[in-house]
Structure 1
């Protein structure tokens, strides 16, 4: 599936509407096979994004977590460390002026 869609459930603070919309947009882009629909398909594309974002918001509200919420900054740091360890990215080094 889309690597750019991140888990939105059980984080503190909760996922914002912008994050939900971004995930819906990535999903629709993947399904449609395009990042920029034609003018003829723009309305259908936008409608799908809005509907998926709406239902995703309901899903996140309805899900029950059995573990405490995760901290976004801690999880982001873990992801960066995994990426560096895998060799996908080099660690960022501050440049001297």
Structure 2
């Protein structure tokens, strides 16, 4: 699950609300052990996602760096190369 949580700081353009919410959802899934909560836990699960999303947004807004923003396309390509090196191409 946690492999889906991506670094969101210092990208051009900045992380979107959808990206922050998706990372928050993955975090809450990992903590709770639920991919989808039961009806009994749904309200608490959704509240946790909302709170983590809010905290993540505040964190990203408050961080500072002197480094140049990273390029999303370059980082995606680097991740793809690492994945191929680690797992192979997956084709026979």
Report the TM-score, using the length of structure 1 for normalisation.
Answer: 0.88
1:52 shift after superposition: 0.4
Q: How many residues align?
A: 91
Highest Rg: 1 or 2? 1
Could you list the runs of 5+ residues in structure 1 that have no partner in the other structure? 93-97
Partners of 1:67 and 1:10 lie apart in 2 by: 8
SS of corresponding position for 1:40: helix
User: What is the alpha-carbon distance in structure 1 between the residues aligned to residue 90 and residue 46 of structure 2?
Assistant: 37
Deviations 1:36-63, CA, capped at 9 Å, x for gaps: 1010110000000001001100100000
Compared CA separation, residues 43 and 13, structure 1 to 2 (3 A): same
More helix by share: 2
**Alignment correspondent of 1:59:** 59
How far did residue 91 of structure 1 move?
7.5
How many Å separate the matches in 2 of 1:84 and 1:47?
A: 37
Mark the runs of 5 or more structure 2 residues left unpaired by the alignment. none
Q: Give me the whole-angstrom Cα distance separating, in 1, the residues matched to 2:90 and 2:34.
A: 32
Distance in 1 of aligned mates of 2:39 and 2:6 = 29
- 1: CA distance, partners of 2:74 / 2:58: 26
Trace 1:1-97 onto structure 2 (pairs within 5 A).
2-86=2-86, 88-90=87-89
| Counterparts of 1:11 and 1:35, CA distance in 2 | 28
